[in-house]
Structure 1
Amino acid sequence: MQHLLTAGAQRALGLAELISGASEAEATDSRHLLAALAHEESRAAEILLAHQIAQAMILQEFELTLPGTEAESDLFATQVPLELSQAIQRFPALRDVLNQALEQASQTSLPVEIGSEHLLWGVLKTEGPHTQWLLSQGAISADSVEATFQSQNQHVAEPIDVDFAFRTVPATVSDQTNTFRTIDAAANRLREGLRVVEDFLRFTLDDAHLTRLLKSTRHQLTEALQFIGQESLIASRDTLQDVGTAISSTSEFDRPSLEHLVKANLKRVQEAARTLEEFGKLISVEAAAIFKQMRYALYTLEKSVLTCVSSQHRLEDCQLYLLASENLCHHGSGPAIRESLAAGVRIVQIREKELSDRRLLEHGRRVRKWTREAGAILIMNDRPDLAVAIDADGVHVGQDELPVREVRQIVGSRRFIGVSTHNIEQARQAVLDGADYLGVGPTFTTATKNFTEAEYAGLDFVKQVAAEITLPWFAIGGINADNLSAVLEAGATRVAVSSVICNHEHPGEMTRDLLEQFAR
């Protein structure tokens, strides 16, 4: 049976989580929930005020901090129904509170969602860091709140006479068998599809990061099926009588490319996860909640896999990435860009920190013309707005600039978004965020940015990324003709350079020397 929370109860839990974060607490507990319940015009807030307990008192007593108004406003966005089992998974420190809330909501003869008043009763019924303070207030207790519920439940409207009767039909053994049969078939489809995608990630992409994520999803499937019962699934299986085995279409056998194959199987596993979620609700709320989490994880996996495949194709010829800055160039950035393009560079980034917006716009339009004539990619550093204005092919951002999600809103779906990463955790996250390529470094000391000695990721970071990630990435930071071979030996197949070309008296000649090292 599903036990849903009201929108007010959901907002209270969400606000409790925000208060916990703003207060730098390790977990969301009863203190944060109590402060959240006193926050808005909910039934719980009315009860607390009736007992002369205001939110300010709670915040002061437990030294809690309210989140900003922008974060709070997100709580009022459209919400999907939240089930009790999902809430318990999300807030393990509030498990007892939520179970007590369920117990109180179940007291009435009518079906009732768990509301803010039930959460308040749960807080009052459980021991926690709030207990002694509430006792010191004296006026409020679980008994006094329960009396309020009983008073409400006494006023029940008379039923309306109707000239027909409803007849409930209990589920039969056959119904349940068919449900188990459906879940078994969907689980098999999901498991098989995941294996196809995993083999693609292992043997075609050689991507350890995405393979590990997919294995985690397979483990979630095993966990969810434990709530269903493997014995029931096997006993209900009837492949010989499955009418679907005799139905096929020509598209099932049409796999013109590896990319098409992996796309088809990613869709297959998502559809199977949805079937498992819906039919799982008839057997186990816990299993259905896990299936739902899996489905959303599979959407992220699909995005990451297909972005990786697409970016590999689009950046296939881009081994040497020029970051052009006027103040680093021997003859100015214009000659350096034009000569390097003529020598074979296929991706250029405008990296100007000193120019005004107007001059940068004019400069960007000139570079756009040069790169377009050379059939090269143009990237704007840090500025998604100017990337759009000059019709650049993409934008590159650092860890302190706008996140990928916000940049995507500005530049659209077709432009590249590159992200600078300085450790393996940042690199893994950038892949999931939807970056089209990564900057990996700094590898050596560099003239373009100031880093402390401890901040240099070095060749060890290059080796880590080479072992895990196949989304296109460029080793960056202090790379020149003398150390390029060491970077390539560490596993890099693409590098980004700046001063080694810009500072050279003959940028085209240096570009050719670097590209020859790749060829060797």
Structure 2
Amino acid sequence: MNPPFTEGSRRVLQLAGAIAQAAGIRELQPEHLLWAIWLDESRGAEILASRGLSHAALSQRLPLPCSPEELNTLRGKSAESPSLPHGVTVGEILASAREHVGNLGRHAEIGTEHLLLALTRVSSSASPVLGELQLGTEAALQEVVSRTGESQEPLDAGIRLNSSPAPQTDQSDLLRILDAAANRAREGLRVIEDYVRFSLNDRHLTEQLKECRHRLAQTEQRLPAAQRLAARDTRGDLGTTLHTRREMQRQSLVDVVLADFKRVQEACRTLEEYGKTLSAEFSQAAGQTRYAVYTLERAVLQTAHALDRLANRRLYLLLTESLCPHGSGPVVRAALSSGVDVIQIREKQMKDRDLLAHARRVREWTAAADCLLIINDRPDIAALVHADGVHVGQEELPAAEARRIVGPEKLIGVSTHSLEQAREAVLDGADYIGIGPVFPTSTKSFSREELAGLQYVSQATGEIALPGFCIGGIGLQNLDQVLAAGARRIAVSSAICSAADPGAVTAELAARLAAVSGSGS
């Protein structure tokens, strides 16, 4: 069970979210967390002040995205600000804080001092400021202990054992263990990277894995290179001749990748545990790599699973009653008989009971036609009608929270309007993304700046392998432009709902998508 946050830490996280929103950023960044710790004036701020930090110095290195006059308003609104999603780096920081406090005992809570300690353990945009304060992990830990009295050392039971100095062979054995684990981790990451690069053809995840491998290499540099090689004894390693039958058999590429993810995680754990005998920094660096690998494991395997599950799902209909002149029922039946693959119920104004009844009717029709049913922004309705998934926007529930409601087997779709949002959706566990808006639409009004356009279609389809449905003003008249930009899946609304012959439009859209299906899945 994760340890709880103190009231001060909750204030800090709320304030960090408010600062991020003031900066116009949709996700929490390490610099927002550092600013919030400083402004909260609790133990974390005391540590920073004791190391010589000032408001002016912090402003110079990491400018606060608001004026001094707005600061008090920002403080007041922080409690009302909705929680923001965070990327991999902030996730690693929070995970590090939880792990540290979890080792203190069952009643320990995560304070602002623990958030600051975790910031020193993870390389981020806040690291240069902490480096100038000479506030590394060891120094931060000493500051925390001096203020809280906490210790992760075992209790003294009053028993004294006579110990002799460790034999010289211990150092050689330690280096052999660390050398083997580092090699396993690095080799495993390369195996996974090759799959993502050559099979998934995913530039984003390839870069994430490469970054993880480089981070591991930096950790390895802390080992004495000459002594490490001298201690290596491959010919005398029993493990080179011990293999199980299952270990030598893999049924698919995904089986290979899954096995190598476990191999990397186990190797990082070995580095983390045995690395404690070298230094806290080495152990913590290995631990942070392990956390990053957990996130990448989900992203890679979920991408592979989604590509398989949505392999032949290319035409996606957003169903809105008000756009259907003759009612949604005839539109749904015509679309189902003409080749639509996914239907999303998108009703922002319909009353809950009416929406539930409507969704149940459409669920019956889609199930009979082997068509996926998605509910827009209502995971509760999706769960009640046994829909295939739920779709959320950038302002709605985060993907992880929606999944807690609908369950692990359901599809989670996320709307994205920029490459950064698409990358985050992949790491946050989305099964597919919406890419757009491509053109102006009749269902929403967008400024010129808000239109993602065909350029974003090219960027997203060129970098991210996770299934993406291009959306926004797409119809028969401009489909060729979208396909030329790299799209192989589209989502439409009025093009079918408002058509005089919904079935004919559906059939033509489906046929034109099928004609280019050989260019990508």
Answer yes or no: same fold by TM over 0.5.
yes
Deviation at 1:253, TM superposition (A): 1.6
How far apart are the structure 2 equivalents of 1:196 and 1:38?
Answer: 41
Contact 2:434 2:468 in 1 (8 A): yes
Structure 1 equivalent of residue 79 of structure 2: 68
Equivalent residue letter for 1:321:
Y
Which string of whole-angstrom CA distances, capped at 9 and with x for unpartnered residues, describes residues 311-342 of structure 1?
11111111100111111113211111111111
**Residue 413 and residue 345 in structure 1: after superposition, are their counterparts in 2 closer, same or farther (change >3 A)?**
same
Match 2:229 to one of 227, 231, 234 = 234
How far apart are the structure 1 equivalents of 2:140 and 2:337?
Answer: 76
**Residue 267 and residue 11 in structure 1: after superposition, are their counterparts in 2 closer, same or farther (change >3 A)?**
farther
Contact 1:9 1:116 in 2 (8 A): no
Match 2:38 to one of 28, 32, 37 = 32
| 1:467 and 2:462 aligned | yes
Contact 1:228 1:284 in 2 (8 A): no
Equivalent residue letter for 1:327:
S
How far apart are the structure 1 equivalents of 2:141 and 2:385?
Answer: 60
How far apart are the structure 2 equivalents of 1:226 and 1:245?
Answer: 25
**Residue 118 and residue 77 in structure 1: after superposition, are their counterparts in 2 closer, same or farther (change >3 A)?**
closer
Deviation at 1:488, TM superposition (A): 1.0
Deviation at 1:68, TM superposition (A): 3.4
| 1:166 and 2:177 aligned | no
**Residue 276 and residue 431 in structure 1: after superposition, are their counterparts in 2 closer, same or farther (change >3 A)?**
same
How far apart are the structure 2 equivalents of 1:408 and 1:80?
Answer: 26
Give percent identity, aligned residues only. Answer: 44
Which is further off, 326-335 or 14-23? 14-23
**Residue 13 and residue 331 in structure 1: after superposition, are their counterparts in 2 closer, same or farther (change >3 A)?**
closer
| 1:378 and 2:373 aligned | yes
Equivalent residue letter for 2:41:
A
- Which has the larger Rg? 1
Deviation at 1:267, TM superposition (A): 1.0
Equivalent residue letter for 1:308:
T
Contact 1:361 1:390 in 2 (8 A): yes
Structure 2 equivalent of residue 344 of structure 1: 339
The aligned length equals 450
Contact 2:120 2:136 in 1 (8 A): no
How far apart are the structure 2 equivalents of 1:363 and 1:19?
Answer: 41
**Residue 84 and residue 327 in structure 1: after superposition, are their counterparts in 2 closer, same or farther (change >3 A)?**
closer
Contact 2:117 2:140 in 1 (8 A): no
SS in 1 for 2:363: helix
Structure 2 equivalent of residue 317 of structure 1: 312
Deviation at 1:165, TM superposition (A): 4.5
Which string of whole-angstrom CA distances, capped at 9 and with x for unpartnered residues, describes residues 121-140 of structure 1?
xxxxxxxxxxxxxxxxxxxx
Structure 2 equivalent of residue 479 of structure 1: 474
| 1:190 and 2:185 aligned | yes
SS in 1 for 2:499: coil
Which is further off, 97-106 or 485-494? 97-106
Deviation at 1:8, TM superposition (A): 12
Deviation at 1:257, TM superposition (A): 0.8
- Aligned CA RMSD, in angstroms, stands at 3.7
Alignment of 1:110-189 (within 5 A): 114-116=145-147, 165-189=160-184
How far apart are the structure 2 equivalents of 1:206 and 1:100?
Answer: 39
Structure 1 equivalent of residue 102 of structure 2: 80
Equivalent residue letter for 2:306:
S
How far apart are the structure 1 equivalents of 2:141 and 2:272?
Answer: 25
**Residue 9 and residue 511 in structure 1: after superposition, are their counterparts in 2 closer, same or farther (change >3 A)?**
closer
Structure 1 equivalent of residue 62 of structure 2: none
Deviation at 1:230, TM superposition (A): 2.3
Structure 1 equivalent of residue 280 of structure 2: 285
Contact 1:20 1:32 in 2 (8 A): no
How far apart are the structure 2 equivalents of 1:307 and 1:105?
Answer: 37
Equivalent residue letter for 2:267:
A
How far apart are the structure 2 equivalents of 1:462 and 1:101?
Answer: 43
How far apart are the structure 2 equivalents of 1:364 and 1:427?
Answer: 28
SS in 1 for 2:278: coil
Structure 2 equivalent of residue 130 of structure 1: none
Contact 2:363 2:373 in 1 (8 A): yes
SS in 2 for 1:387: helix
SS in 2 for 1:385: helix
Gaps of 5+ in 2: 23-30, 50-67, 84-93, 104-113, 151-155, 516-521
Contact 1:181 1:238 in 2 (8 A): yes
Which string of whole-angstrom CA distances, capped at 9 and with x for unpartnered residues, describes residues 338-383 of structure 1?
1111111121111122321111111111000000000110000111
How far apart are the structure 2 equivalents of 1:365 and 1:257?
Answer: 38
Which string of whole-angstrom CA distances, capped at 9 and with x for unpartnered residues, describes residues 282-320 of structure 1?
113222111111101100000001111111111111110
SS in 2 for 1:414: coil
Deviation at 1:80, TM superposition (A): 3.3
How far apart are the structure 2 equivalents of 1:236 and 1:487?
Answer: 58
Deviation at 1:232, TM superposition (A): 2.4
**Residue 233 and residue 500 in structure 1: after superposition, are their counterparts in 2 closer, same or farther (change >3 A)?**
same
Equivalent residue letter for 1:116:
R
Match 1:394 to one of 389, 395, 412 = 389
Match 1:276 to one of 246, 271, 282 = 271
SS in 1 for 2:222: helix
**Residue 344 and residue 282 in structure 1: after superposition, are their counterparts in 2 closer, same or farther (change >3 A)?**
same
Structure 2 equivalent of residue 53 of structure 1: none
Contact 1:17 1:28 in 2 (8 A): no
Equivalent residue letter for 2:145:
I
Contact 2:441 2:472 in 1 (8 A): yes
Structure 2 equivalent of residue 52 of structure 1: none
How far apart are the structure 2 equivalents of 1:371 and 1:197?
Answer: 37
Structure 1 equivalent of residue 416 of structure 2: 421
Deviation at 1:169, TM superposition (A): 2.7
How far apart are the structure 2 equivalents of 1:351 and 1:83?
Answer: 40
SS in 2 for 1:410: helix
How far apart are the structure 1 equivalents of 2:406 and 2:333?
Answer: 26
SS in 1 for 2:221: helix
**Residue 239 and residue 103 in structure 1: after superposition, are their counterparts in 2 closer, same or farther (change >3 A)?**
closer
Alignment of 1:293-304 (within 5 A): 293-304=288-299
How far apart are the structure 2 equivalents of 1:310 and 1:446?
Answer: 31
**Residue 373 and residue 116 in structure 1: after superposition, are their counterparts in 2 closer, same or farther (change >3 A)?**
same
How far apart are the structure 2 equivalents of 1:14 and 1:98?
Answer: 27
Structure 2 equivalent of residue 3 of structure 1: none
Equivalent residue letter for 2:42:
A
**Residue 359 and residue 470 in structure 1: after superposition, are their counterparts in 2 closer, same or farther (change >3 A)?**
same
How far apart are the structure 2 equivalents of 1:371 and 1:34?
Answer: 53
SS in 1 for 2:311: coil
How far apart are the structure 1 equivalents of 2:214 and 2:250?
Answer: 28
**Residue 99 and residue 30 in structure 1: after superposition, are their counterparts in 2 closer, same or farther (change >3 A)?**
farther
Match 1:438 to one of 427, 433, 439 = 433
**Residue 65 and residue 170 in structure 1: after superposition, are their counterparts in 2 closer, same or farther (change >3 A)?**
farther
